[in-house]
Amino acid sequence: MKKLLMATAAVALTAGTAFAGGHANEVKLGILFGFTGPIESLAPSMGAGAELAMAEVTKSGALLDSATVIPMRADTGCIDNGLSTANAEKMLADGVDGIIGGDCSGVTGAILQNVAIPNGMVMISPSATSPGLSTMEDNGLFFRTSPSDAREGQVMAEIMTERGVKSIALTYTNNDFGKGLSDAIKSSFEALGGEVTITTAHEDGKGDYSAEVGALASAGGDILVVAGYLDQGGLGIIQGALDSGAFDTFGLPGGMIGDSLPKNVGPDLNGSYGQIAGSDSAGAQIFADMAKEAGFDGTSAYASESYDAAALFMLAMQAANSKDPAEYRLKIMDVANAPGEKINPGELGKALEILKAGGEIDYQGATGVELIGPGESAGSYREIEVQDGKNVTVKFR
Amino acid sequence: MDFLNAIVALTNYVMIPAVAYGSQLALGALGVTLIYGVLRFSNFAHGDTMAFGTMVTILVTWWMQSMGINFGVLPTALLALPFGILGSMGLLLFTDRVVYKFYREQKAKPVIFVMVSLGVMFMMNGLVRFIIGPGDQRFSDGERFIISARDFKAMTGLREGLAFKTSQGITVITAVVVVIALFWFLNRTRTGKSMRAYSDNEDLALLSGINPERVVMYTWMIVAGLATIAGVLYGLDKSFKPFTYFQLLLPIFASAIVGGLGNPLGAIAGGFIIAFSEVSITYAWKKVLGYLMPENLQPDSLVQLLSTDYKYAVSFGILLIVLLFKPTGLFKGKSV
């Protein structure tokens, strides 16, 4: 009996090795996005973005002795922690070498804590922006190609301080995004010595904002920062504040930047300013063209970040010459940042060749990737000012 | 000077918005209360009737604008308003003929009527979205301000600005005219008297030869007029969006019930009570007190009783208190 057991074990072992050996030239990357749920409209383009990078690398044949990169999709539901961790575990059982995901901040934290850390698996999220993920203890396993909302708060605080703003009134749309962003703006601005006279929420979809405007006006401030949506309550607040003469200048974070706002408000908005995520990298345009050719919309939110997330995995693997998460995770920051040759989308094959020859690269990708601190995108922002009824880019930060 | 500044700040941020909003609520509540008084049910479709009438007005306004017709400094929508009223009269008479009439002949209980009006509400909801879409529509034109905050500051040299929008002026004037006309109609004309008689005692009214179908028809027509006027004024002052109009149903009902359902005077008072409490209880009094108090007593905090998040809670708080202690409303309407 004992012998039989031994023999079975031995056979199983050899079979296992043989199995692994036969597939040595395969790299499996999990794509763990919310294909159902609140961001189901974004997920298909995000998935296609990641798969585009994989197809490019497979075609180049330059990764780890011409390995084939196989994508493996699974669903997070965006807000379903149970579903996401179950699917992440299934991916591990299927032998993925890295997970691109999650997408929404909540499930991303859950997958990281429950699956990735216990199993030593690396995750690169293209779209989780919660500031909480920056401070989470991740054993160096978690990266993201999108900036934290805390970063936007910091950028905004810097812009306002540079323009000589001493005090602001702050209103936000009453949801997690608005609350997180307003907290970030408030703490960054106060850290720079500014004063926040009032922080108040507004509900979207109301017709009348006179009560909110009254409270904001009473608290006063040099400018009014509206962390909301330009087609929703944000517009109503600005209109009300202008009509009653409460504020003349407005601070406009990302959700408020769009062509419709200056058009709807009119010339009174001139002189207001803000910022939106965006870079002046050449990569964005290249990626958009590549995506068009591949048959999806590359300008859809987080599609380019997904491409970059997938590319970072494969470049780091080549740099470490291994698909073992414990080894290639150390190289992710190296390939993403200077020094080295700058790499745009569509040049992944070239990048892999450079790495193979022992050279260094500085992956720019579709979003001008620059990873800072705990492995998240530094986030480049366009500083916008409304001039003559148009959003004009003043500079990049 | 400081005293003047305090008065101006209070007028600008509390009095003017609350008076305009109160007039709009009062007109809406009058419609609800008329239906409750004469037809004896709470019409949940009222918010969407407002939306429908406003939509017709907007479409006609756009057509007029494209033809180059305008009303000078006043918004073109006022010219289009009669068409909007006709449109919603048509819709209401149509729904009455195909829906409510059936239940009236069945002598259905009021609660069934309420549920029927809920169904009508969803139909109108869909109809409006189908025709004009769910998004925001802007249709105001003409001069935006009677006094703008900047001009006021330059004129008076005060630190506080006072803005008085054209739409707010029109709202208040129209509301006064409409209310006077309505009371004259109800108290002086034969039809108005027969409506009141029908409302007070249906059987007695029938005995004295009043034709109930005529009373019902006139009621719907007046309600259509009130709803459309209220909707257009609200849209001019803020903006038109079907969902916002649907949500208006809540403060409108609160106004009608606080004042006393079925009592027109109560509807007007209720509208202003709700509007003033929503704005003033959530107002931060820091600025006003800062002007009034001596230097060393000026408040550091915002002096805000409730955060603006609780705006709706205020009107419903008042509604609860009134229902608990005076179920027939402040002006002796019918109990709910």
Per residue in B157-184, pLDDT (tens digit) is 888 888 888 999 999 999 999 999 999 9
Using the structure block, give the residue that is written with the tokens 């007028």: B11
pLDDT digits (tens, 9 = 90+) for B240-298: 888 888 888 888 999 999 988 888 889 999 999 999 988 888 887 877 887 887 777 77
Q: Which of A396, A360, A310, A291 is nearest to A69 (CA)?
A: A310
Using the predicted structure, report yes or no on whether residue B15 has a pLDDT greater than 70.
yes
Domain A150-270 falls under CATH 3.40.980.10 = no
Q: Residue B58: pLDDT band by 50, 70, 90 thresholds?
A: very high
pLDDT band at A21 (very low <50, low <70, confident <90, very high): very low
- The pLDDT, as a whole number, for residue B332 is 73
CB contact under 8 A, B288 and A211: no
Give the whole-angstrom CA distance, residue A22 versus residue A14.
12
- Whether A148 shows a pLDDT value over 50: the answer reads yes
A310 near A135, Cβ under 8 Å?
A: no
Band the pLDDT of A16: cuts 50, 70, 90: very low
Give the whole-angstrom CA distance, residue B48 versus residue B206: 32
- CA-nearest residue of chain B to A202? B309
pLDDT at position A10, please? 54
Interface of B with A in 34-93 (CB under 8 A): none
Is B159 in the A-facing interface, judged by CB distances under 8 Å?
Answer: no
The string of DSSP codes covering B95-115 is HIIIIIHHHHHTT--HHHHHH
How many whole angstroms separate alpha carbon A225 and alpha carbon A153? 11
CATH architecture of A26-146+281-377: 3-Layer(aba) Sandwich (3.40)
Could you tell me which chain A residue has the CA closest to the CA of B243?
A205
Using the beta-carbon criterion (under 8 Å), do A206 and B244 form an inter-chain contact?
A: yes
pLDDT confidence of residue B84: 96
Residue A18: what pLDDT? Answer: 43
pLDDT tens digits, one per residue of B113-159: 999 999 999 999 999 999 998 777 888 888 888 888 878 888 888 88
Please, are residues B308 and A202 in contact by the beta-carbon 8 Å criterion? yes
Q: How confident is the model at residue A381 (pLDDT cuts 50, 70, 90)?
A: confident
* Nearest CA-CA partner of A280 in A109, A116, A394: A394
Residue of A200, A235, A245 lying closest to B149 (CB–CB)? A245
> What is the location of CATH 3.40.50.2300 in chain A?
26-146+281-377, 150-270
For residue A93, pLDDT beyond 70: yes
pTM value?
A: 0.70
Q: Is B42 exposed, middle or buried (0-12, 13-18, 19+ CB in 10 A)?
A: buried
Which ranges of A35-175 would DSSP assign to H, the alpha helix?
Answer: 43-60, 81-93, 105-111, 117-119, 132-135, 149-162
Domain positions in chain B:
2-242
Q: Which pLDDT belongs to residue A17?
A: 45
Confidence class for position A388, pLDDT limits 50, 70, 90: confident
DSSP A139: T
Interchain CB contact of A246 with B (< 8 Å): yes
Residue of B11, B13, B162, B289 to mutate, testing the A interface (most A Cβ within 10 Å of its Cβ) = B13
Contact A212 B308 (CB under 8 A): yes
What pLDDT sits at residue A129? 80
A224 band by pLDDT with thresholds 50, 70 and 90: very high
Contact check, Cβ <8 Å, B307/A200: yes
Helices then strands (H, E): number in chain B? 15, 2
Place of tokens 């990764």: A63
Q: Answer yes or no: do B163 and A231 touch at CB < 8 A.
A: no
Chain B residues within 8 A of A208 when measuring between CB atoms: 17, 21, 238
Give the tens place of pLDDT for each residue, A327-362: 999 999 999 988 888 899 999 999 999 999 988 999
